[in-house]
Structure 1
Amino acid sequence: MSTDFAARILQLRTLIRHHDYLYYQEAKPEISDQEYDALYAELYRLEEAHPELITADSPTRRVSGAPLSAFVTRKHSLPMLSLDNTYNAADLQRFHEYVSRGLGSQNVCYSIEPKVDGVSISVRYENGVFACALTRGNGKEGDDVSENVKTIPSLPLVLLGEHPPAVFEARGEVFMSSQGFASLNARRLAAGEDEFANPRNATAGTLKQLDPRVVAQRPLDIVFYAQGEIDGLEITSQAELLQKFKDYGLKTQKWLRFANDFSGILAAVDELKNCKSQFPYDIDGAVIKVDDFAQREILGMTAKAPSWAKAFKYEPERCETLLKDITVQVGRTGVLTPVAELEPVLLAGSTISRATLHNADEISRKDIRIGDTVRIEKAGEVIPAVVEVVPGKRPAGSQPFDFVAHLDQRCPSCGSEIVRDPQFVAWRCPNLQCPAQNVRRLEYFAARNALDLQSLGGVVAAALVERGLVSEPLDLFALTLEQLGTLNLGSDDQPRLFGHKNAAKLLAALERTRTLPLANWLQAMGIPEVGAATAFHLGRTHRNLAELAKSPKLLALCEIMSGQDSGLPADRLEELAALLLPLELIKSTSRKNGPPAYVTTSIGPKTAQAVLDFFAADAGQYWLRRLAALGIDPAGGTAAGEASPASGATGNLAGQTFVLTGTLQSMDRETAAARIRALGGNVASAVSRNTTYLVAGENTGARKTEKAQELGIKVINEAEFLALLM
């Protein structure tokens, strides 16, 4: 009898894999969803009744039952290099000329494929069975995200066909379709959580989830385009590799072109650019590769990238639309930000109806007026920006936009009279109890790099303030399960409850914050001049809030920086330096004549004074009293998830200061900053003479790179940065 069950289980697995292939690869399903579900349910019941027949590659085993405690880092069998990229045709022509010179009289054929804007992955099969999946990481080793990747429905856990090779590593991109991303954000909004910024961020964040059950609820997909280690199979070209992927049931992109010369490459790149908005997922360029693998061997590779391939990145798309109105948002510090309300227009695959205008001075500089036709650009931002006005389409009789008059000099949220910030190009609402500011402060308090209250997104924050349950972040600790569970996130006419399950998650997250380190709490408090990097250094150099509030170290920092050139006695300078140098809050520099000079490394005197002023003022005293009443006393040390660089750090990056700009492919900026600090380095927000490296990711603006070049600061790319972290 058990033999009959085993045979039926094998038959069901084969049937389900066959229908998975037809559905996900060919888009030609032969059976209905109900019939498929019936096959799956029968297999699940049989395996539950006969657990001795369960195998790891069964379709029912995609989602493991328990969260991981952490990801394990493993070495790639072959380096997983990134590609050199370019934005202009001249570079592409130089690439073709380099290939032609390298191959001499040989004819060359190029493959041209879309560059998917996702997360790179390497999937390994052993004897045809899924073995593991690694992220790119630093190219030599990556995180083992096998349990998460297994949940992707379009990925076969067993390769199709007979006699698979002993080892077959397929490399590709994990991504979210535009439709899947929109559905995910809709579900997050319904649950009161913040939306993801874009599909790539959502994909990267999902793969970093420790609970595969959460990942299984996210609409991940995968396509393949390259190979890693292969044992037991000879493949001689890109065209042959892509066909082998299809034979094995591994998903590839349908759009593929070949070219034999530069004009053919350019034609394919232009063709793809013109149709990329029709793709069901985001692509940000074209990848050009020499097709023949033997020719690739001749051309070789550099330490960072293969010499036989180039990624051509498309410039951010622009389009014209009508600016119907200008509204104003209130930030957590009271800063008023104008937003363009636009006639909805399709841009880069999504419908855009709003764009940032930055501030009143920017509106005046560009002479932006209500009723103008404007050009907007989307370069990865959540809200695109207005680039310029189209003067020839301006309606007759339009008037320059007057920011203050438009608001009648009143905050749009609370009606308080707005004031001009003397230090910045911004108007502010000075009312600290302004409802809009309260909402923004709650969001900031709950952010991932602060207290990481994942269930508390913008919708929940707004509802808590609007319903009068919370006016200050620490009011959250007084909320009950019943209050949160019955919180209406919708309107009175169309109520939508937060729910007791979400409420329990939020209360548990709040309880966890009691043990978070000082750096996280400092970030959450929203102290002027204090961002993540400053919070980290304040946290590592102070035992607790009580010490920080009247910090002798910050007082010493202010004194030494203001006094070293204004006659401070030498013995006092030495006394202050003896306190600050071991903490790496200052460093000594030599001068031609006279004693050494001291410069700050991570916290400037302006920031130090701002922290002292904050805790001396009513707002800071209020925080200290409320936290004491709640029994919360954050301990000094490092931010959650970071290694502690002791005073006098001796890591690989000790004494070096980094500035991060642009988008990194292998990690987000917060993770990069944490890695730098864990190795003893510092992270700054602006380029200065103290900067050691400017790390330039993709979509880097010109301002920081120009400043770095002006000061002689070395600019490094992501591959060079990853090499420093090793």
Structure 2
Amino acid sequence: MDNSIKQLHTSLVEEIFRYDRAYYVDAQPAISDQDYDRLYRELLDLEASHPELITSCSPSQRVGGEPLEGFDTVQHALPMMSLDNTYSQNEVREFIDRVQKLLPNEELDWVVEPKADGIAISLRYEDGQFTVGATRGDGVSGDDVTENLRTIRSIPLHLQSLTEADLPSVFEARGEVIMTRSGFEKLNSMRETDGESLFANPRNATAGSLKQLDSALVAKRPLDIVLYGNGEVIGGPLVDSQCVLFEALGKFGFRTPKHIWNCSSAEQVVAAIDELDRIRESFDYDTDGAVIKLNRFDLRDRIGVTAKAPRWAMAYKYAAEQAQTLLNSITIQVGRTGTLTPVAELEPVLLDGSTISRATLHNDEEISRKDIRVGDTVIIEKRGDVIPAVISVVKDFRLSDSKPFDILSITENRCPDCGGAIQKDREFVAWRCINHDCPAQAAQRLEHFAARTALDIECLGDIVSDKLIERNLVCGPLDLFDLTLEQLRSLNLGNADEPRTFGEKNAIKLIESVQRSRSLGLDKWLFALAIPELGRTTASLLAKFHKDFASLATSEILNNVIELDKLNERAVRVNPRSRKNKPTSESDRTERENYYAQIVDQITSRVDSLVRLGFASVTKENGYHPPNYTTEVGPSVARSVMNWFGSTIGGETLERLIELDIDPKGSEQGPSNNDRGLYAGKIFVITGTLSGMSREEAKAKIEANGGKTTTSVSKKTDYLLAGEKAGSKLQKAELLGVTVLDETAFLSQID
């Protein structure tokens, strides 16, 4: 091929990208539509004559390709974490104060930016070329929507830079795919003209567009993007703060928020939040809050993240939208654990861009507290993605013959789905259906079992779950492993008059993903089995301390947590120094003192064993009284898990898993795994003032090397890390023969 043809192609591509950026990113068109179309047609003609010139990064590839059969799953190089959020400016101040306490010797500055109301995505570039785009998913993995994202013209297909040295070998940009308000209006106008259903709001339209398997259809949707963060970065210039990141994103060709604030105090942050609220309606895309981030990346690394969110960022949500409507009736839903939840059936009303016809009422006690009655005019509220809720009643409009709500009258003391008995769960202020074979519970458990955050079984949503139960093809989640291709292929999702079969492609996907779930870890399986009170974070945590179901079923850790709860209750009852329950005589006092001392010893021993395992930490030694401590899982959850394993349902589940040869493994971070750390299983106490790091940082370094920290020196303490002005703890450590490390010695050991 003539080299001049290659040069012409390169020139056309670069010129079109330059005009794309001017139009879609900078909002400053640099060429007329007619001239742009001429350049684009010239590129298409050249590539038609020389197809070998076409690459995935050519502007011609934005029009979309062949429809996909389904989305692949992408593992994020770094987790896409969600943010803690608040509706209170006081909580924003408390958050900033909390971070300052974690970094006591640092001058902190903050970035406030708009919180775009879109769909979170990650864009991966390798050697400057766009290679993979994925949704957030469960934060660990998401859908591969690369082909759909290629159609968005504000996403550069290759990073722009002044020199090759400016380009990282790997760069992941993170942000929100959005639909502008003007684009949304045009899209709905076209759909109305074509007789298609209208989207409720820009976010729904965005989500629906990204889920399309046909990227050619996505190319016709007015999608846009706003970038605000990064994932994995390898090489390139140093990006050490949020402000510098925004500069880098802009240089690479990304659209970033036009309005950001760099603040040095809590009051400046609050002022920025208020200013953003005043101007955000002028934006051409929806925002639902402000995001507050610690500016410097090195300080972010020092304070780290929790299991759910970074400690260095928070989302502030603006006041929730409310609407007034009529409560037509109250129905009862049955959840996967049998909980009966009252649901408000409303006169449809527009709220936050969506038509709302149902809202949660939480439970019968909440209804009684708010005195909500059928026929009332009610105020409903929707905050972000949270289910709409009835928050109050307009009693001026109440009908004279209205009656208070009575769940027993509505249900006739029976489950509305299976007719089984119901009973009050006092601990959780809820009524439950106690029939484990209730079809509504079974369908909910099946859907939960298949969720992305559980075993991620494809093609198993609410309708399929309902029909599998209704047709008696499964009774419980583990029956999925017995389903045949023929049973699924011919499954009627409709009715006798209007049949709609599941189909072979869907059946194959479901069976394949069911079989893939065999290899998933203990954390996924624990969450999937819908054990009462066991959420995803707690399931993941328990899997770190147990190697399999068998070890969890007889967990010494959880039994210790339960026993400690009993011992603490007993200690309160027999405490001889109690003001409420004073000894009746000297002999009674002596007897109680001896018994109390035994209980304190038992509590201390059990706490120490949990501390060594990394499952507990002592927050305060109380001398005569039991120590204050925290455990990774509380007694309520521990009891619920152990009760489930000891129940008929739990036993049958374990037996069935053995029959199916399914034995998921946990990571078991007990003593065996901690043996690898420098301070494996060792107990530290920190005292005095450290000059080069905060106590939180020292604690993090100790834990990273397998050690644990407590607050008081005892004969079980292995090391005392002593800073300046170490007092009585240093004296006690020397008396007990505890190894004392100064800050220099400590740092030299771990470096």
Q: TM-score, normalised by structure 1?
A: 0.60
Residue 462 of structure 2: which of 445, 458, 470 is its match? 458
Pair 1:631 & 2:631 matched: no
Aligned-partner Cα distance in 2 for 1:560–1:311: 37
**1:450-489 map, 5 Å:** 450-489=454-493
Deviations 1:68-95 (A, max 9, x none): 9744469xxxxxxx99999779x99xxx
**Paired residues of 1:198 and 1:382 also in contact (CA < 8 A):** no
**Paired residues of 1:117 and 1:200 also in contact (CA < 8 A):** no
**Paired residues of 1:272 and 1:286 also in contact (CA < 8 A):** no
Helix, strand or coil for the counterpart of 1:319? Answer: strand
Residue 618 of structure 1: which of 638, 648, 671 is its match? 648
Aligned-partner Cα distance in 1 for 2:351–2:228: 27
**Paired residues of 1:519 and 1:638 also in contact (CA < 8 A):** no
Deviations 1:324-357 (A, max 9, x none): 1111110011100011111111111222111111
**Paired residues of 1:326 and 1:340 also in contact (CA < 8 A):** yes
**Paired residues of 1:114 and 1:272 also in contact (CA < 8 A):** no
Residue 379 of structure 2: which of 369, 375, 379 is its match? 375
Letter matched to residue 624 of structure 1: L
Aligned-partner Cα distance in 2 for 1:556–1:267: 49
Pair 1:321 & 2:351 matched: no
The aligned residue for residue 177 of structure 1 is: 179
The aligned residue for residue 498 of structure 1 is: 502
Letter matched to residue 649 of structure 2: A
Pair 1:57 & 2:46 matched: no
**Paired residues of 2:114 and 2:287 also in contact (CA < 8 A):** no
Residue 544 of structure 1: which of 548, 557, 565 is its match? 548
**1:363-402 map, 5 Å:** 363-402=367-406
Q: 1:44 to 1:613 in 2, by over 3 A?
A: farther
Aligned-partner Cα distance in 2 for 1:609–1:311: 34
Q: 1:646 to 1:166 in 2, by over 3 A?
A: closer
**1:217-616 map, 5 Å:** 221-223=224-226, 281-284=286-289, 314-559=318-563, 562-563=566-567, 567=595, 580-587=610-617, 590-593=621-624, 597=627, 599=629, 601-616=631-646
Aligned-partner Cα distance in 1 for 2:84–2:622: 45
Q: 1:507 to 1:604 in 2, by over 3 A?
A: same
The aligned residue for residue 710 of structure 1 is: none
Aligned-partner Cα distance in 2 for 1:512–1:197: 36
**1:200-211 map, 5 Å:** none
Q: 1:147 to 1:572 in 2, by over 3 A?
A: same
Aligned-partner Cα distance in 1 for 2:566–2:474: 42
Helix, strand or coil for the counterpart of 2:519? Answer: coil
Aligned-partner Cα distance in 1 for 2:201–2:649: 32
Aligned-partner Cα distance in 1 for 2:84–2:535: 33
Letter matched to residue 327 of structure 1: T
**Paired residues of 1:175 and 1:200 also in contact (CA < 8 A):** no
The aligned residue for residue 307 of structure 2 is: none
Q: CA deviation at 1:250?
A: 6.6
Aligned-partner Cα distance in 1 for 2:299–2:554: 50
The aligned residue for residue 722 of structure 1 is: none
Aligned-partner Cα distance in 2 for 1:494–1:615: 43
Q: CA deviation at 1:421?
A: 1.7
Q: CA deviation at 1:253?
A: 8.7
Q: 1:253 to 1:424 in 2, by over 3 A?
A: closer
Helix, strand or coil for the counterpart of 2:488? Answer: helix
Letter matched to residue 362 of structure 1: E
Aligned-partner Cα distance in 2 for 1:580–1:125: 45
Helix, strand or coil for the counterpart of 1:459? Answer: helix
Aligned-partner Cα distance in 1 for 2:86–2:650: 48
**Paired residues of 2:492 and 2:500 also in contact (CA < 8 A):** yes
Q: CA deviation at 1:35?
A: 13
The aligned residue for residue 191 of structure 1 is: none
Aligned-partner Cα distance in 1 for 2:299–2:609: 44
**Paired residues of 1:115 and 1:283 also in contact (CA < 8 A):** yes
Aligned-partner Cα distance in 2 for 1:466–1:221: 43
Q: CA deviation at 1:474?
A: 0.4
Q: CA deviation at 1:542?
A: 3.1
Aligned-partner Cα distance in 1 for 2:236–2:552: 57
Aligned-partner Cα distance in 2 for 1:226–1:519: 29
Aligned-partner Cα distance in 2 for 1:27–1:217: 22
Deviations 1:559-588 (A, max 9, x none): 455358675699988986786553234556
Letter matched to residue 652 of structure 2: Y
Aligned-partner Cα distance in 2 for 1:493–1:678: 63
Helix, strand or coil for the counterpart of 1:514? Answer: helix
Aligned-partner Cα distance in 1 for 2:87–2:318: 9
Q: 1:435 to 1:269 in 2, by over 3 A?
A: same
Q: 1:599 to 1:482 in 2, by over 3 A?
A: same
Helix, strand or coil for the counterpart of 2:428? Answer: coil
Q: 1:35 to 1:622 in 2, by over 3 A?
A: farther
Q: 1:266 to 1:608 in 2, by over 3 A?
A: closer
Helix, strand or coil for the counterpart of 1:174? Answer: strand
Letter matched to residue 566 of structure 2: S
Q: 1:418 to 1:134 in 2, by over 3 A?
A: closer
Q: 1:88 to 1:526 in 2, by over 3 A?
A: closer
Q: 1:573 to 1:302 in 2, by over 3 A?
A: closer
**Paired residues of 2:523 and 2:540 also in contact (CA < 8 A):** yes
Q: CA deviation at 1:429?
A: 1.0
Helix, strand or coil for the counterpart of 2:380? Answer: strand
**Paired residues of 2:288 and 2:317 also in contact (CA < 8 A):** no
Q: CA deviation at 1:411?
A: 1.5
**Paired residues of 1:19 and 1:30 also in contact (CA < 8 A):** no
Letter matched to residue 623 of structure 2: K
Letter matched to residue 467 of structure 1: R
Deviations 1:529-574 (A, max 9, x none): 4333443344333333233333455445544553586756999889
Q: TM-score, normalised by structure 2?
A: 0.58
Q: CA deviation at 1:177?
A: 3.4
Letter matched to residue 465 of structure 1: I
Aligned-partner Cα distance in 1 for 2:612–2:273: 58
Q: 1:346 to 1:546 in 2, by over 3 A?
A: same
The aligned residue for residue 743 of structure 2 is: none
Aligned-partner Cα distance in 2 for 1:468–1:495: 17
Aligned-partner Cα distance in 1 for 2:468–2:40: 41
Q: CA deviation at 1:13?
A: 5.3
Letter matched to residue 631 of structure 1: D
Helix, strand or coil for the counterpart of 1:441? Answer: helix
Aligned-partner Cα distance in 2 for 1:599–1:366: 38
Deviations 1:485-524 (A, max 9, x none): 3333334444443332232222222112212222322222
Aligned-partner Cα distance in 2 for 1:562–1:269: 51
Q: CA deviation at 1:197?
A: 13
The aligned residue for residue 747 of structure 2 is: none
Helix, strand or coil for the counterpart of 2:612? Answer: coil
Aligned-partner Cα distance in 1 for 2:85–2:405: 44
Q: CA deviation at 1:17?
A: 6.2
Letter matched to residue 439 of structure 2: P
Letter matched to residue 222 of structure 1: I
